[in-house]
Amino acid sequence: MGVSADVRALRIVRRARDRIDRDYAEPLPITALAAEAGYSLGQFIRVFESAYGETPGRYRTRRRVERACELLRSVNLSVTEVCLAVGFTSLGTFSRRFGELVGRSPSAYQREAARVGGPAPIPGCFALMWRTGLPASAEDRNFGEAIALRVGVASGER
């Protein structure tokens, strides 16, 4: 693949990722994102994963959970309301994914945030744009493989 073709593909998947960042509360089926990008589903997932080190579905889940964390910290909503506000349709799926990524349940997270209190020291936009808003211990447990891949890519080892 030529170099300019690479840049074109990267811009296309970046637009898809921006759409996940912006419209995470909508259903956003990956098939629709692939169609918007002009790829088949398989191609889209492959190009996205090779650019960002994780599949678009995984990224969408992390984005929703990250938004849920912010709402649980800063807004007086029930766990169910937060679940629906960030685009999950099932409380069971939300709680399971949240637990996998954050390492505790949404309600435990909310209680702890209320106990600690105070505004977060890191600006919200940076927490949003960086990919490190989740506790390292939980990530290590669940995404050791993905992290290893990212680290490998970053240091140019793979």
Partner 1 sequence: MITGISIVSVWVLDQESAKEFYTKQLGFEVTTDIKLDNGMRWLTVRPPGSTNQELVLMDPAHSMLDAETAEQVRALVAKGALSPGVMSTTDCHGDHAELAERGVDFTQPPADRPYGIEAVMRDDSGNWFSFTQRKSEQYT
* 131 burial level (CB within 10 Å; 0-12, 13-18, 19+): middle
Quote helix, strand, coil % in the chain, to nearest 5.
Answer: 75, 0, 25
> CA 123, CA 151: separation in Å to the nearest integer?
25
- What are the residues binding partner 1 (CB under 8 A)? 3, 6-8, 10-11, 13-14, 17-18, 21-22, 51-52, 119-120, 123-126, 128-129
- Which CB, 120 or 138, lies closer to partner 1? 120
Output the smallest distance, CB 10 to partner 1, in A. 4
- Which CB, 55 or 142, lies closer to partner 1? 55
Radius of gyration (C-alpha) of the chain in whole angstroms: 17
Output the smallest distance, CB 158 to partner 1, in A. 15
Output the smallest distance, CB 89 to partner 1, in A. 23
Q: Cα 6–38–47 angle (5° rounding)?
A: 40
Output the smallest distance, CB 19 to partner 1, in A. 9
- Which CB, 85 or 108, lies closer to partner 1? 85
- Which CB, 126 or 151, lies closer to partner 1? 126
* Residues 20 and 62: beta-carbon distance below 8 Å: no
